[in-house]
Structure 1
Amino acid sequence: MAGPRRGCERARSARESGSVTGCTMPTVTAPLPDLVLYTRPGCGLCDEARAAIDLLIADRAAHGLPVPEVVERNIDDDPALHRELFERIPVIELGPGRLELATSVARLRRLFADVLDGPAAIRSATSPSNPGPASTGEVVRG
């Protein structure tokens, strides 16, 4: 028990002296949800959605923002999915968010921000120093 107490004492001393290099706490981050793209062969809109996703993922990666893993699901492989989504593809799900007929880069960007960056990112994106359309914090639903 002496070890952890000494570590706490060092951390307290570091805080009191203004030096925070004495102790660090591990950072815990929640795993990112997968981005699921429902598609089928020969779907031109699905190709557009995939290109938009690739563009946004590259942009986010270049800016050091989290990027989800993309999982493509062919609706032709599942009769229930085919019945449900055939007239709505491309459909994109990211966490609790879902976009149908998802080809708009702007709508995809908002979905990424809402789900991956959370409320803090939304507040900073709409702060007075960065005027723009206010976000309600809602997850975009197609």
Structure 2
Amino acid sequence: MARMSPLFRRKADPRDRFVTLVRKPGCHLCDDAQAVVEKVCGDLGVPWEQKDITEDRQLHDEYWEQIPVVLVDGRQHTFWRVDEGRLRKELTE
């Protein structure tokens, strides 16, 4: 099946995306990441959730050394520091 050229592809509606912030209590980087996620998702109307790594063994095993972690549509977007412009771009392209 032929892939459509990016020139003809319609941009996805950011409201159809979903962001997950994987964090832990008492983490200042997690607080910083949450502020960025809240701002970008709020601006774009993107639904988001946060998950506590201390309450989910699978998330703990996968991401413990990387938190905070931001997932977009279930795929890892970034970790440690969340860049507002990069997240905004990811959600609007």
Whether these two folds match at TM > 0.5 is yes
- Report deviation, 1:96: 5.6
Q: Which residue of 2 aligns with 1:58?
A: 42
- Report deviation, 1:97: 4.2
In structure 1, runs of 5+ residues without a counterpart are 1-28, 61-66, 115-142
Which letter does structure 2 place at the counterpart of 1:51? A
Q: Which residue of 1 aligns with 2:86?
A: 107
The verdict on how the C-alpha distance between 1:95 and 1:80 changes in structure 2, with shifts beyond 3 A counting, is closer
**Counterpart contact for 1:45–1:103, Cα < 8 Å:** no
Greater fraction strand: 2
Residue 61 of structure 2, aligned match among 58, 79, 83: 83
**Counterpart contact for 1:97–1:111, Cα < 8 Å:** no
User: So what's the TM-score if we normalise by structure 2?
Assistant: 0.70
Provide the C-alpha distance between the structure 2 equivalents of 1:80 and 1:96, rounded to a whole number of angstroms.
Answer: 14
Higher relative contact order, chain-length normalized (CA < 8 Å, sep 6+): 2
Provide the C-alpha distance between the structure 2 equivalents of 1:70 and 1:77, rounded to a whole number of angstroms.
Answer: 18
Q: What is the DSSP-based 3-state SS (H/G/I as helix, E as strand, rest coil) of the residue aligned with 1:48?
A: helix
| Seq. identity, % | 28
Q: Which residue of 2 aligns with 1:33?
A: 17
Which letter does structure 2 place at the counterpart of 1:104? D
Q: What is the DSSP-based 3-state SS (H/G/I as helix, E as strand, rest coil) of the residue aligned with 2:65?
A: coil
Greater Rg over alpha carbons, structure: 1
Provide the C-alpha distance between the structure 1 equivalents of 2:18 and 2:47, rounded to a whole number of angstroms.
Answer: 5
**Counterpart contact for 1:39–1:74, Cα < 8 Å:** yes
Task: Count matched residues.
Answer: 79
Provide the C-alpha distance between the structure 2 equivalents of 1:57 and 1:44, rounded to a whole number of angstroms.
Answer: 20
User: So what's the TM-score if we normalise by structure 1?
Assistant: 0.48
- Report deviation, 1:42: 0.9
Provide the C-alpha distance between the structure 1 equivalents of 2:43 and 2:23, rounded to a whole number of angstroms.
Answer: 23
In structure 2, runs of 5+ residues without a counterpart are 1-12
